[in-house]
Amino acid sequence: MTRILVVEDNPDLAYGLRNNLEIEGYRVEVADDGTTGLARARDASPDLIILDLMLPGMDGFRVLRALREEGRQMPVLILTARGEEADKVRGLRLGADDYVTKPFGVLELLARVEALLRRAAPPDPGNGDAAPERFADIEVVPASRSVLRNGRPVPLTPKEFDLLVALLRRRGAVASRMELLTEVWGYSAEVLSRTVDTHVAELRRKLEADPAAPNHILTVRKAGYRLER
């Protein structure tokens, strides 16, 4: 049974999350502060973590940083009460895979959880022999889900890697935000297109010589993005 850890200090919200997730068939554990949440994540190694950012004791940013620095790669969906772009970007840079802004709809959250779990599933063995892809000084190795820049590893989150591969597969063709949302995140809605933009910005920061004037991960006005080798 898929195990989900919910780290949320609001008891009513935590109860609602647990109830709805259990109805969907997940095994759910709840922690009501950051310190306990980090300990349970370490001990139980859940398949996915739903992590509030504003927590007593240790905030969600510190919990997330600790998990990623320890090399733990389970998907993390962050919850933020504020819609501020800075909170979302900071969470993504620390290694979060997605975010939901409070208040949120239960169906939206469940869809995101399902998409994250699907993307985190072991890769199809039939794709294990895919040849590495290259552009400029970047090498993408699908078999190990790794990226090298000038021979040095570049730490990408699972979603950043999937987004990069989705662009590579198009061989320079344009991919719309909606196509990328569906392919990489497994859902689509106009209001969620900023998710793609935020992840593209992170890819540019990590892979482009000048993220403000990218040469490879390009914006196509009113259409989407494409990757120029």
Each residue's pLDDT tens digit, 164-177: 999 998 888 998 88
Residue 169 in contact with residue 225, Cβ under 8 Å?
no
* Domain 125-227 part of CATH 1.25.40.10: no
Query: Cα 100 to chain center, whole Å?
Result: 11
Residue 4 in contact with residue 50, Cβ under 8 Å?
yes
pLDDT value at residue 190: 44
pLDDT value at residue 82: 64
Amino acid identity of residue 8, one-letter, is: E
pLDDT at 138 over 80: yes
Confidence class for position 225, pLDDT limits 50, 70, 90: very high
CA distance 215 to 111: 34
Measured CA distances, 209 to 30, 174, 214, 215, 216 (Å): 42, 22, 7, 8, 10
| Region label for 136, one of left (φ > 0), alpha (ψ between -120 and 50) or beta (otherwise) | left
Please name the residue that has the structure tokens 């497994």. Answer: 186
Q: Return the higher-pLDDT residue of 86 and 63.
A: 63
**Cis previous bond, 122, omega within 30:** no
CA distance 164 to 42: 29
pLDDT at 115 over 90: no
1 three-state secondary structure: coil
pLDDT value at residue 187: 59
Q: Which of 95-104, 193-202, 210-219 bottoms out in mean pLDDT, i.e. has the lowest?
A: 193-202
pLDDT at 193 over 60: no
pLDDT value at residue 158: 81
Q: Which of 16-30, 128-142, 146-160, 182-196 bottoms out in mean pLDDT, i.e. has the lowest?
A: 182-196
Q: Return the higher-pLDDT residue of 179 and 4.
A: 4
Mean pLDDT of the chain: 86
Each residue of 41-65: pLDDT tens digit?
Answer: 999 999 999 999 999 989 999 999 9
Q: Which helix (H) or strand (E) holds 118?
A: helix 106-120
Domain residue extents for the chain? 3-120, 125-227
Average pLDDT for residues 68-84, to the nearest whole number? 85
pLDDT value at residue 169: 87
CB atoms within 10 A of CB 222: 6
Pick the CATH number of 3-120 from 3.40.50.2300, 3.40.250.10, 3.20.20.150, 3.30.379.10: 3.40.50.2300
pLDDT at 191 over 50: no
pLDDT value at residue 103: 83
